[in-house]
Homo-oligomer: A and B are copies of this chain.
Amino acid sequence: MPFQTHRLPNGLQIIAETSPSARSMALGFFVRTGSRDEGPEVSGVSHFLEHMVFKGTPRRSALDVNRDFDRIGAHYNAFTSEENTVFYAAILPEYMAQAVDVLADILRPSLRTDDFDMEKKVIIEEIGMYEDQPMWSAYDHAKRIYFGQHKLGNSILGTPESITALSRDQMHSYFQRRYVAPNIIVAAAGNFDWPRFVELVEKHCGQWQKGETGRNGVCETQGSGRFEVMTKEKVMQEHVFLISPGPAADSPLRYAADLLGMAIGDDSGSRLYWALVDPGLADSADSSFHEYEGAGAFYTSFSCQPEQAEEDLEIVMEVLHDVQKNGIREEELNQARSKVLSRVVRGSERPKGRLMALGMNWIYQHGYRSMDDELRAFESVTLSDIHQVLDRYPLDRVTALALGPLAKLSAAK
């Protein structure tokens, strides 16, 4: 899997991994900006801008964008997180030139006022749709409560109020500041010709503006430690979300943290699975490690019938206290490791999987990591690494939110 990289004079970084046995390729633009880079007056602008990117450019109407992707059968999409806005397409290799053309073009959107006003409605509908999903809503509010003033607590979607108040010019100024060439990485994986790829990216992106990269407010947090109940009588099940601190994305402890999260709360064969799901005390229970620039966290959640919530919460806290005090067993570590190794191999079998790994490793690990590099990192994690994670990031220091029909729920002990 040969890795290639090239930097354009304007600071745009191009990275690629070629794989001759693939039958397709995937390519993506990773813009290093997200909800944590927003002030309260533009809450939701990164995600709204992601939508506007598909609404047309001086060369293309929204219809042209859609049609040009569809004509080549591209599987294309985009997502916005706290830290990144990523636009990608999976295609048959013969369409590489068209795909680079469209993707590069839309990354310089017109942001027309009438499109902006129309898309506002779509965003507000989307917020309503997510509000209909109780576990997502619990996640969003739990994050807000955990992070408090820390910018990672910003809502990705914003609120109907913040979106309504947002102007086209505010979005344009955010775009001009954040979508500069040095803040963008163009990546590709699969079966394609590297020199031709560089040539195409240079042709379409070589004139993009330079500018500042980086972000403010990068720091760790242990969370607020608060416990809140949001009563939603319309929701049938009780949804509980707990957050504990964890290592940041560039910490050497991230591999151990990932394995620890899996041992506690993978959807099969984990501590929480046996404690809650298998005996039928909850319809779901999960824990997993999430990493960001400068901070990380373990997200633990479960949903159950309301009358069962009190007991389930006690069981979850017992599990977290026990792991904090005694760690996990060698056998649990090995099981989590087997799962992760299998996940890494399977995730790498598609160009899109390698594309995401390539982009995210470049952003967070500051370099290239092959699939085998990742496998080796997980293979070398020991129980002592797990203890280091627990010593530094107390798993039972939880911030929690319950969302559902209950009016109250005893605070975790």
Stretch from A18-26, A247-255, A383-391 that touches the partner: A18-26
Stretch from A8-16, A291-299, A347-355, A362-370 that touches the partner: A347-355
Asked if A315 is at the interface (CB within 8 A of a chain B CB), the reply is: no
1/0 per position for A339-382, CB-CB distance to B under 8 A?
Answer: 11111011011111000000000000000000000000000000
Interface pair A345/B236, CB less than 8 Å apart: no
Asked if A166 is at the interface (CB within 8 A of a chain B CB), the reply is: no
- Chain B residues with CB under 8 Å of A58's CB are none
Count residues of chain A with CB under 8 A from any CB of chain B.
Answer: 64
Interface pair A283/B335, CB less than 8 Å apart: no
- Chain B residues with CB under 8 Å of A310's CB are none
Stretch from A41-49, A63-71, A172-180, A220-228 that touches the partner: A63-71
- New contact pairs (8) apart from A71-B338, A119-B280, A128-B283, CB-CB < 8 Å: A23-B348, A70-B269, A71-B334, A73-B340, A76-B268, A118-B279, A118-B280, A234-B234
Interface pair B92/A345, CB less than 8 Å apart: yes
Interface pair B342/A92, CB less than 8 Å apart: yes
Which A residues are closer than 8 A to B by beta carbons?
A: 21-24, 62-63, 66-67, 69-76, 90-92, 118-119, 121-122, 125-126, 128-129, 131-132, 134, 234-237, 268-269, 273-274, 277-280, 282-284, 303-305, 334-335, 337-343, 345-346, 348-352
> B21, B76, B122: which contacts A283 (Cβ < 8 A)?
B122
Interface pair A349/B346, CB less than 8 Å apart: no
In the bound complex, CA of A25 to CA of B268 (Å): 20
In the bound complex, CA of A334 to CA of B71 (Å): 7
Known: A67-B269, A128-B236, A128-B237. A24 touches B74 (CB 8 A): no
Interface pair B268/A342, CB less than 8 Å apart: no
Interface pair B349/A69, CB less than 8 Å apart: no
Tell me how many chains of this kind the complex includes.
2
Most buried by B among A73, A234, A237: A73
> B21, B125, B339: which contacts A21 (Cβ < 8 A)?
B21
When C-beta atoms are compared, the residue in chain B nearest to A278 turns out to be B62
Known: A73-B341, A348-B23. A305 touches B132 (CB 8 A): no
Interface pair B342/A283, CB less than 8 Å apart: no
Known: A75-B346, A90-B346, A236-B132. A69 touches B125 (CB 8 A): no
- Chain B residues with CB under 8 Å of A118's CB are 279-280
Interface pair A70/B24, CB less than 8 Å apart: no
> Distance in Å from the Cβ of A78 to the closest Cβ of chain B?
11
Interface pair A349/B23, CB less than 8 Å apart: yes
Interface pair A129/B63, CB less than 8 Å apart: no
> Distance in Å from the Cβ of A336 to the closest Cβ of chain B?
8
- Chain B residues with CB under 8 Å of A305's CB are 125, 128
Interface pair A345/B132, CB less than 8 Å apart: no
Interface pair A335/B23, CB less than 8 Å apart: no
Interface pair B73/A132, CB less than 8 Å apart: no
When C-beta atoms are compared, the residue in chain B nearest to A273 turns out to be B66
Interface pair A92/B341, CB less than 8 Å apart: yes
When C-beta atoms are compared, the residue in chain B nearest to A348 turns out to be B23
- Chain B residues with CB under 8 Å of A280's CB are 118-119, 121-122, 125
Q: Which 5 A-B pairs have the closest CB atoms?
A: A73-B338, A73-B342, A121-B280, A70-B269, A234-B234
- Chain B residues with CB under 8 Å of A277's CB are 122
- Chain B residues with CB under 8 Å of A91's CB are 342
- Chain B residues with CB under 8 Å of A342's CB are 24, 72-75, 90-92
Known: A118-B280, A268-B66, A278-B62. A73 touches B339 (CB 8 A): yes
> B21, B122, B284, B335: which contacts A70 (Cβ < 8 A)?
B335
Interface pair A70/B348, CB less than 8 Å apart: no
**5 pairs, CB–CB < 8 Å, chain A vs chain B:** A62-B278, A73-B341, A129-B303, A132-B235, A234-B235
When C-beta atoms are compared, the residue in chain B nearest to A239 turns out to be B132
